[in-house]
Amino acid sequence: MTDISLQTYTLVITGAPYSSQAPQTALDFARAAVAAGHQINRVFLYGDGVHIASVLICPPSDEPHWPRLWSDFLAEHQIPAVACVSSALRRGLIDKAEQQRYELSAHNIRAPFEIAGLGEWVEAGTCSKIIYFHSGA
């Protein structure tokens, strides 16, 4: 295998867990990249991908828990992860601030995910390679 220089990546996930393979493929890529010494500076959830950041997802115990696996990976490697605010609000992904703003009955964002605007994605494009993980539909 040829030696490749170390890169900084931003991952964008637009496919939802359990209805697409995008979160799994992205996690496999992220693990391999980190293991090879590359840096992942941010994970950005967009469109249906925001469902990964729900703390309420409860798959059967014999199935992979993609939100938890993602959270554990992000925490272990201290990688910031952001769900796009407009995608998140459309799909019922809410943090404390949005709960208060819209006077909702609950919030459900899973640590260490945060909710932020598309500006984070724009900024990422200026300083890293962005790789997109789509649903394929």
Active-site annotation, residues: 84
| Contact by Cβ (8 Å): 80, 42 | yes
Phi, psi of 116 (to 5 degrees): -155, 175
Q: Of 28-36, 66-74, 107-115, 119-127, which segment contacts another protein by CB under 8 A?
A: 119-127
CA angle 103, 106, 109 (to 5 degrees): 115
Q: Does 17 bind another protein (CB under 8 A)?
A: no
- CB of residue 94 vs another protein: minimum separation in angstroms? 18
The interface with another protein within residues 54-83 (CB under 8 A) comprises none
Q: Which is nearer to another protein, 10 or 54 (CB)?
A: 10
Provide the CA 15 distance to its chain's centre, in angstroms.
10
Residue 136, classed as helix, strand or coil, is: coil
| Contact by Cβ (8 Å): 42, 125 | no
Of 34, 99, 107, 121, which lies in the binding site for another protein, with binding defined by CB under 8 A?
121
Q: Of 25-33, 72-80, 99-107, 112-120, which segment contacts another protein by CB under 8 A?
A: 112-120
Q: Which is nearer to another protein, 27 or 84 (CB)?
A: 84
Which residues are paired to 9 by β-bridges? 40, 129
Q: Does 132 bind another protein (CB under 8 A)?
A: yes
Of residues 38, 120, 115, 31, the one with CA closest to residue 70:
31
Which residues are paired to 31 by β-bridges? none
Q: Does 134 bind another protein (CB under 8 A)?
A: yes
Judged by the rule CB under 8 A, the positions of this chain that interact with another protein are 14-15, 46-49, 86-87, 90, 117-119, 121-123, 125-126, 130, 132, 134-135
